[in-house]
Amino acid sequence: MDLFRSEPIAQPLAARLRAANLEEYVGQEHLLAHGKPLREALEQGALHSMIFWGPPGVGKTTLARLLAKVSDAHFETVSAVLAGVKEIRQAVEIAKQQAGQYGRRTILFVDEVHRFNKSQQDAFLPYVEDGTLIFIGATTENPSFELNNALLSRARVYVLKSLDETALFKLVQRALTEEKGLGKHHLSLSDDGFKMLMAAADGDGRRLLNLLENASDLAEDNTEISVELLQSLLGDSRRRFDKGGEAFYDQISALHKSIRGSNPDAALYWFARMIDGGCDPLYLARRVVRMASEDIGNADPRALPLCMSAWDVQERLGSPEGELAVAQAIVYLACAPKSNAVYMAFKMAMREATEHGSLEVPLHLRNAPTKLMKQLGYGEEYRYAHDEPDAYAAGEDYFPDNLEPRQYYQPVPRGLELKIGEKLKHLAALDEASPRKRRK
């Protein structure tokens, strides 16, 4: 007997309940409802290379297995965490044998494909191109950023979503009633208990089943899994996300856009979501400071020091006092008048500084601390603004000689920038009337 080919003695509940057909598969109705492209591919066996992009525990691996089963294709799997080019070549050889000896196509399923580097991803391309294998990659990260364009051009991307309440309820029902699940223990679960598990699972079916199995190990047969037992089991089950992951940046984006859109309630929600998910509050405090400059700017100059103070409170006091101060800053930013005028002006100035290179500082703007510098004309003809009417040297030019004066900063007609804009228009009129103005 080959011990290495024997079944595991005790498979986890999630593995035992892996869907064996489309009827058992839960979720992803937007892809698998009748008439949808992926459902058509499954039913017709119309294989093509594809990428499954979605969060953990939503059925990416199961879907790939179902596709192989329905299509009567050989199924090979490789984990990008453990494998390299050698394992890819071995899978290709197996695919060639399957085609030559049995006339069967091969699906190569690569889990966490985003962990392969560029050269490893390139190793698939010739065999995907010539039809040696059907490539299916699974990833939790945005394929646009993590996968080569050459690979993306040869595979269709399908976006899988977190499992909703209906899908998670079906999983629980199967787990409690089917013999291969927990059926022999005759356990039950109250509505409150299900809600606790659902909240802890956060759309992850595998996590839901793992938690349910852990609870069943602690419960007596022929009883209801109590809320108290679940509370002691779950403890702090806050939703987590990888700091560099897609969900992290999606939520930061939602927070920033809610503030920019002047919606304090939505901004508070996304702030709370990220705190609940384990995000470092100091990171959020730093991002809020950025938002004060980028989206409020001089329309309300009080926003920036308020955000700096909130960051300081977070650093000094920690949680929960610091988080409340950051929340205060977030609400202030959302309600403040908006201006990205400084942000846009800075970007334009940076672009032109790069494009025009090292233009020399005009002589009249240079300091002349030595006699030689004065002899060379440094600081000559400089007009000291405080000696001019209204402390403004009308017509003076502060740009390099080879760069025509231009306007980067264009204040918006909101908040304090309304007044700033009026002042700059007045100064521009003085410049225009001045005989010292640079002429083209």
Q: Structural domain boundaries of the chain?
A: 28-159, 165-234, 246-335, 357-433
Give the pLDDT band (50/70/90) at residue 2.
very low
Band (pLDDT 50/70/90 cuts) for residue 314 is very high
Note the pLDDT of residue 258: 95
Task: Answer whether residue 46 shows pLDDT above 80.
Answer: no
pLDDT value of position 5: 47
Distance CA 202, CA 131 (A): 38
Q: Give phi and psi for 230, each to the nearest 5.
A: -65, -40
Provide the b/e sequence for 61-86 (b: ≥16 CB within 10 Å).
bbbbbbbbebbebbbbbbebeebeee
CATH 3.40.50.300 fits 28-159, yes or no: yes
pLDDT tens digits for 13-23? 888 889 888 88
Maximum pairwise Cα distance, the chain: 102
Contacts 24+ apart (CB under 8 A), 209-216: 209/12, 209/13, 209/14, 209/17, 209/171, 209/175, 210/12, 210/13, 210/14, 212/13, 212/172, 212/175, 212/182, 213/12, 213/13, 213/14, 213/175, 213/182, 216/182, 216/185, 216/187
Token couple for 160? 């899988």
| pLDDT over 70 percentage in the chain | 94
Token reading at 36: 């949808």
Query: Using one digit for the tens of pLDDT, what is the confidence trace for 383-424?
Result: 889 988 889 888 888 888 888 888 999 999 999 999 999 999
pLDDT at 239: 57
User: From its phi and psi, is residue 71 left (phi > 0), alpha (psi between -120 and 50) or beta?
Assistant: alpha
pTM exceeds 0.95: no
Contact (Cβ atoms closer than 8 angstroms) between residue 366 and residue 378: yes
Report the C-alpha gap between 229 and 193 in whole angstroms: 9
Query: For residue 303, what are the CA distances in angstroms to 45, 163, 223, 285, 299?
Result: 59, 40, 57, 13, 9
Task: Calculate mean pLDDT across residues 76-92.
Answer: 78
**pLDDT, position 236:** 57
CATH 1.20.272.10 fits 246-335, yes or no: yes
CATH code for residues 357-433: 1.10.3710
- CB 350, CB 357: distance < 8 Å: no
Is 165-234 a domain of CATH 1.20.950.20?
no
